[in-house]
Amino acid sequence: MSEPRKFLRPLSAGLGPRFADLERRAQATVDLAARVRAALPGPEKDHVVSASYRDDTLVVLMDSAAWGSRLRYVQQELLAQLHADGVTQFTKVRVKVGRGGAKKTGQ
């Protein structure tokens, strides 16, 4: 019997460039959402579902309309903090409302 492999290859290995590109874009979306959460000053960060961009517009998906409204009030602070952190490609913020995963209980 052969020795078991010590390292696993990435899922995209061998599946072609389209899948690798999809994997890269998904990771970029996760990373951008984390940067947005880190840049937010208050409890809004706990309600960010996702973040993406189109041209110079940062699109932030929030888990409810109430939290989306609160994000609109701090969008200039969000942009300023992102710019301070070196994320400078955005000049506008667009807030959308959607649903995240399963609701957390006990809060």
What is the tally of structural domains in the chain? 1
CATH of the domain at 74: 3.30.300
Of the given ranges (12-16, 34-38, 62-66), which has the lowest mean pLDDT? 12-16
Mean pLDDT, rounded, for 22-48: 91
Question: Backbone dihedral region of 34: left (phi > 0), alpha (psi from -120 to 50 degrees) or beta?
Answer: alpha
Domain containing residue 75: 17-97
Q: What is the pLDDT of residue 20?
A: 78
- Stated pTM of the model: 0.74
Mean pLDDT, rounded, for 41-58: 93
Q: Can you tell me whether residue 54 is helix, strand or coil?
A: strand
For 36, residues 6+ apart whose C-beta sits below 8 A from its C-beta are 45, 48, 51, 58, 60, 78, 82
Question: What one-character-per-residue DSSP string does 57-90 give?
Answer: EEEEEESSHHHHHHHHHTHHHHHHHHHHTT--S-
Residue 107 placed within a domain: no
Quick one: angle between helices 17-39 and 75-84, nearest 10? 110
